[in-house]
Structure 1
Amino acid sequence: MGNFIGLFIFNNREIAIGFWSLIFFIWCLSKKEIRHSILDVIKIVFSKWIIIIFILSTTYIGIVIFLLYKLKFWNIFMLKDSIIWYIFVSSSMIIKGMLSKKEEKFFRNEIIECFSLTLMFDLVINTFDFGLLIEIIVFPIILIVVLMIEFGKHRKEYEALVDPMNKILNFSGVIIIVYSVLSIIKNYKIFFTIDSLKAFLLPQILILMYLPFIYIMFIYSKYETIFIKFKISHEIPEIVVLYIKLRIILKYNFYVYNAEEFFFINWYKIRTVRTKKEFDIILNNNIQ
């Protein structure tokens, strides 16, 4: 039992983030308007579509982790980091991927980010933390500074805030990096280990192995958007609608933008279709 609990020991930074997240959640619950909004979000989260994505995503990640375990890379002590990655990173990737207008840009950015130098800084910064009290005090200050920078970027009257807030953020970053580097030098035997290397590589490997799933979800969501017109038009027999969807997917498969263009150009003809043969004529006459 003790070993199992040990798997979920959080460092001071994670405790500080959890503490302020709990405070923010309690504050939200104290506001009537926000409570109603939370209920709306909960209804969306437990919608049929979201539950299906959750089940598919969980199954996929489970298979990935099992493969990493078989390859002697993943072990039970990575469980906490894997769960945190799944909750925050994978969900963010799904949202960004499905909302992305150009999948090439999204996937290129994700791959570049996996191999960016900033990840080394993340490793250095996150390996060692300050005392719990300092972390609890520093976290909201850094968060407020970041929010003020973003606010200043989008509101002209507050543009003057951006430069001084950036200086404060940069100065804080330098202090954290210097402290972390000194801690690494002092505790180099802890930092330069195989386990540390695995912990550093785990999020990047999970991201790279998760991209095929995101791509499939992206393709599916695009086809759902293309076929949404069938929900508006009820004149085409259901069996013919199913046939049209199947033929379009088989013809264009991963080339969803070609399918989108075909549908846009030929919708005025497709909506008059009543038989499979009529649609075959439209599809065969298409030059794409």
Structure 2
Amino acid sequence: MANPIFSTREIAAIFWLVVFFIYILINKEIRKSAYRVIIALRNKYIVLAILSLFVYTSLITYFPLYVCGVWDGSMIKDTCIWFLFTALSLLFNINKARDFTFFKRIITGNIKVIIIVEFLFNFYTFPLVVELIMLPILTFLTVVQTYTEIHQQQEPKYKVTTSCIKTIFSLIGCGIFLYVIWMTVKDYGNLLTIYNIKIFLLPIALTLLSIPYFYIVALIIEYDSVLTSIKHIRRHDNPSVAKDMIKATKRYANINLKALSRIWKYHALYEPAKGSASGYIKKIVQKPQYAIGHTARLLIFNDIKTVTKRLSKNGIGEFSDWNCFEGDEYSAITDYFLLKNSSLYMPNNLAYYITGKKNYIEKIELALNINYQQDKEMAMAKFKDIILSTCKSLSINCPQDLVDAVDHLSEYCLKFDTYSLELQCVPSGKVETWTFSIITQI
């Protein structure tokens, strides 16, 4: 008996999509929002990107897949599913690509999903009635989990909800996994066929073959951002400055996405009076060399790479490169972590600042800027959590007196033989800045 075109899971998904589409049509407010989304998608650059992705997918489907006998007309549905849910998702998130690590995560992540979900879980499906009931429940839980994970950094109360939903997903996943294993053992003859192996390999092959396209798109976006930023920042300088920086960018970055990312971060710090644009760009595209020093008495401060790697895991952002732009002073920072997004007021934010010399760190500073006093209590709670995480990451004991000082909004200073801990508050107009510092003795 021939396999049906659509599985029960796909039929259930189509049914609920039709229901959702009808709901959009009959609800005036949602219909207006959907119309605005459609209008936004009519942007010529978005249309061009989607069309170019479609053409590229068609080309790689024909050659090498079709020509080599890996692809045939029966796989159109699976190819369309990959295009709609994987390729377009990658396209709309390609602005996050800063180096080839982004693409490595795409490859490994997609292979995991394909093996566990796309193939085994979708090969064995439940009866249609079960799928119709299960799909909206799982969709609802996924939406709630996504919402709580986004907001749990700002609202600790959401952590309980996130943990509960993850437990529910784990139980459901275990149940489905046991069912899949049972069906695989029972029906392994139908699973291990040439056609199923091709279906299994198809999304993996399409993902691998699409990496060059996405890398080129990422390069175009990054170049546009860098060159536009250079022209904007240097608009009041001598026109030759911007031209020299753009020329140097193209020469030294070339097709290196990581180098472009470094230029985007640091080009604004260039001062024409202190050297040529070419020399400056050449300097900042070079990968920093992290050496182990012996100067800092707090030993871990001699290992810059380890410190930045550990602190980057504390949830408020990854560090920039350890770089020197003037004299012998080196620094690395994180972007500002917004404690609450709002278009109505400037949100409170957190950031790490590290300063020192080439081979060692002198000071680590965690800065909290309180721009909106109504959210101060929540901001201080997050500040305290990151202080505790910082000390734990560096294997430093966090005194209870320091925790109490944060709770009571008081300053604090404690000196040891090898390092000191400081908590300070510096008001500046309407902004209140709290800083927690770890300073090594030399």
Give the TM bin, normalised by the shorter chain: 0.7 to 0.9
| Alpha-carbon shift at residue 284 of structure 1 (Å) | 6.8
Question: For the Cα contact (< 8 Å) 2:61–2:71, is it kept in 1?
Answer: yes
Deviations 1:4-28 (A, max 9, x none): xx99921110111122122223223
Question: For the Cα contact (< 8 Å) 1:7–1:80, is it kept in 2?
Answer: no
State the SS of the aligned residue for 1:103.
coil
Q: Check 1:13–1:98 CA distance in 2 against 1; reply closer, same or farther (3 A cut).
A: same
What is residue 222 of structure 2 aligned with on the other side? 222
| Alpha-carbon shift at residue 201 of structure 1 (Å) | 1.3
- Stretches of structure 2 lacking an aligned partner (at least 5 in a row): 284-442
Answer yes or no: is 1:35 the counterpart of 2:39.
no
Structure 2 Cα separation of the partners of residues 227 and 48 of structure 1: 21
What is residue 276 of structure 1 aligned with on the other side? none
Larger mean CA deviation between 164-173 and 204-213 belongs to: 164-173
What is residue 92 of structure 1 aligned with on the other side? 89
> Which structure ranks higher in relative contact order (CA pairs < 8 Å, sequence separation ≥ 6)?
1
Structure 2 Cα separation of the partners of residues 244 and 148 of structure 1: 47
Q: Check 1:99–1:285 CA distance in 2 against 1; reply closer, same or farther (3 A cut).
A: closer
Structure 1 Cα separation of the partners of residues 194 and 44 of structure 2: 42
| Alpha-carbon shift at residue 235 of structure 1 (Å) | 8.4
Q: Check 1:246–1:51 CA distance in 2 against 1; reply closer, same or farther (3 A cut).
A: farther
What is residue 77 of structure 2 aligned with on the other side? 80
Structure 2 Cα separation of the partners of residues 34 and 112 of structure 1: 37
| Alpha-carbon shift at residue 263 of structure 1 (Å) | 4.1
- Stretches of structure 1 lacking an aligned partner (at least 5 in a row): 1-5, 270-280
What is residue 166 of structure 1 aligned with on the other side? 166
What is residue 253 of structure 2 aligned with on the other side? 252
Equivalent AA in structure 2 for residue 252 of structure 1 = A
Equivalent AA in structure 1 for residue 193 of structure 2 = T
Structure 2 Cα separation of the partners of residues 151 and 285 of structure 1: 43
Structure 1 Cα separation of the partners of residues 280 and 128 of structure 2: 69
Structure 2 Cα separation of the partners of residues 247 and 87 of structure 1: 39
Answer yes or no: is 1:49 the counterpart of 2:45.
yes
What is residue 108 of structure 1 aligned with on the other side? 104
Structure 2 Cα separation of the partners of residues 46 and 8 of structure 1: 35
1:146 counterpart (142, 149, 152): 142
Question: For the Cα contact (< 8 Å) 2:148–2:161, is it kept in 1?
Answer: yes
What is residue 18 of structure 2 aligned with on the other side? 22
State the SS of the aligned residue for 1:227.
helix
Higher normalized strand content (fraction of residues): 2
What is residue 195 of structure 1 aligned with on the other side? 195
Question: For the Cα contact (< 8 Å) 1:151–1:158, is it kept in 2?
Answer: no
Equivalent AA in structure 2 for residue 133 of structure 1 = V
Deviations 1:70-119 (A, max 9, x none): 1111111111100111111101111222233x333311211222443x54
Answer yes or no: is 1:120 the counterpart of 2:115.
yes
Equivalent AA in structure 1 for residue 121 of structure 2 = I
Structure 1 Cα separation of the partners of residues 41 and 232 of structure 2: 23
What is residue 342 of structure 2 aligned with on the other side? none
Q: State TM-score, norm by structure 1.
A: 0.79
State the SS of the aligned residue for 2:157.
helix
Higher normalized helix content (fraction of residues): 1
| Alpha-carbon shift at residue 45 of structure 1 (Å) | 1.1
| Alpha-carbon shift at residue 219 of structure 1 (Å) | 0.8
Q: Check 1:115–1:144 CA distance in 2 against 1; reply closer, same or farther (3 A cut).
A: closer
Structure 1 Cα separation of the partners of residues 128 and 87 of structure 2: 28
Q: Check 1:219–1:161 CA distance in 2 against 1; reply closer, same or farther (3 A cut).
A: same
Q: State TM-score, norm by structure 2.
A: 0.54
| Alpha-carbon shift at residue 258 of structure 1 (Å) | 4.8
Equivalent AA in structure 2 for residue 191 of structure 1 = L
Q: Which structure has the bigger radius of gyration?
A: 2
